[in-house]
Amino acid sequence: MLLPNGESLQRIIGTETEFGVASRHVHTSDPVENSLHLISQYPSLIAPRAIWDYENENPLRDARGFEVEGERERPGPEYNRALNKLLANGGRLYVDGAHPEYSTPECSTARELVAYERAGELVAAKCLEVMNRTAEGYVLYKNNSDGKGNSYGYHENYLMNRSVPFDVILQGLLPFFVSRPIVAGAGKVGAENGAAPATYQISQRADFFECVADLNTMVKRPLINTRDEPHADPARFRRLHVIVGDANMAELSTYLKVGTTAIVTHMLDEGHDVPSFELENPVDAVKIVSRDLTVKADLKLARGGVTNALAIQRAYLRAAHEFYACRELSPATKDVLVRWEHVLDKLERDPRQLTAELDWVAKRQMIESYVDRKGCGWNDPRAALMDLQYHDVRPDRGLYYTLERGRRIERLLDDEEIAAAELQAPRGTRAYFRGACLRKFPHQVYGASWTSVLLDVGDVAVKRVPLMDPMRGTQDLTNELLEGVETAQQLLDRLSA
């Protein structure tokens, strides 16, 4: 399917990670204060006085055609600066509710997204290191649950064509999301939120979903989020805001999570048929999937009969092969398809074959080995502690990083790529222009957002440079514009010429 101007839709993706903060000190237990203090410690800010521009943001619009009541966030300048830190890589470090959160810049491939999400781990770890120099005892986790009944989010974002009806998206993605944890679950000891007991389950988030579709993200959590906040030209684009996924540590889990979803959204954008599985109760089904370590438990269909998570994923994979059989297949997409099939084949034979590839399998093996060695049960507090420690962002303490150092988990990236992603914006999206402005004019960038850069050149009014198309503002499109420009005023003169 083509956009109104005849362009094909590039796959633009990004993620948002809320980190869990823990403190050993009773007098420093305020999560909001801890989060604000944490993000203020980042040592590599290049425009510390820049604010976040909320002008084009409205999280109250629902994709089903209405707007709910509520207050849109509009903090004053000083509190805005405390809440938001604009990063050199085009991403954002901020406080959302009671958690520090990192948003990647807009990326154009799954591999690129993995690099920028992992760069967020570096950012978080550096903040924590500086914070602990003066007040030891803080720990930061890239996970989704504190084990005490509280869940915090990990959100994915996919650019889609506005012309695709939301009902088509909902029906096309619901069975895919219900079954996706077998590929992208982060693993979890126990159960929460009043869900059925479990020794170990595949997904951290599954227990916290209570309805099929809704606008909420913190209560009555839906499998399909209906937020209609495109962060782009609303006449051309929609942003699919996905809250059903886990925060992963393993690179392959993240890669397949976003890569396979980008493929399915591409099929929906082009009007291609996707598998039709009408589940009897999708909310119950995602909990069944999470507790089924064989990945083959029966899921009831609304019109009789059963299926299972593995069968659903295989059906989507077959549909993807059919879709790309008559289209140009990029190397990046081909790699996702190959790895997707490889993982599903191993899951069918024995999920334990994926100990070096997927989070939920790697974590299970690690904790199971400990439990067997110590002769304790899965209900031993040390098992739950290992679950948490797997997600510790400190490189010298996190159990996931122990697997990396021991070369017991598959890597897609090297450390140099991740380090570069912390400081350099992606070249193929509008994030490049945002990052370039921050580097070139750190004292003249008054603020920025996904859809704007605000420049203060000393006039009465701040000048807004709109970025309503995520596929513009790339290195190729802005190199000539930015070449030789030394001031924000020179940039504005070129833009108005």
Residue 358: half-sphere exposure toward Cβ, Cα within 13 Å = 29
Would the pLDDT of 219 be above 90? Answer: no
- The CA distance from 18 to 487, in Å, is 35
Residue 8 confidence (pLDDT) = 46
Tens of pLDDT, residue by residue over 174-190, are 999 999 999 999 999 99
DSSP SS3 for 299:
strand
Residue 72 confidence (pLDDT) = 86
Residue 71 confidence (pLDDT) = 84
Tens of pLDDT, residue by residue over 53-102, are 999 999 999 999 999 988 888 999 999 999 999 999 999 999 998 899 99
Q: Is 91 exposed, middle or buried (0-12, 13-18, 19+ CB in 10 A)?
A: buried
Whether 96 sits among the annotated catalytic residues: the reply is yes
Non-local CB neighbours of 401 within 8 Å, separated by 6+ positions = 394, 395
The residue annotated as part of the active site, out of 53, 62, 96, 269, is 96
Consecutive H or E run containing 290: helix 282-291
- The CA distance from 275 to 171, in Å, is 10
Question: Could you tell me the two tokens for 155?
Answer: 């959100």
Q: Is 328 exposed, middle or buried (0-12, 13-18, 19+ CB in 10 A)?
A: exposed
Cα–Cα distances in Å, from 423 out to 86, 118, 436, 447, 473?
A: 11, 12, 11, 18, 18
Would the pLDDT of 4 be above 60? Answer: no
Phi, psi of 85 (to 5 degrees): -130, 120
Whole-prediction pTM value? Answer: 0.96
Question: Which comes out higher in pLDDT, residue 472 or 460?
Answer: 472
Architecture of domain 13-45+87-420: 2-Layer Sandwich (3.30)
Pick from 181, 149, 336, 163: which is nearest to 245 by CA? 181
- The CA distance from 116 to 123, in Å, is 10
| Domain parsing of the chain, residue ranges | 13-45+87-420
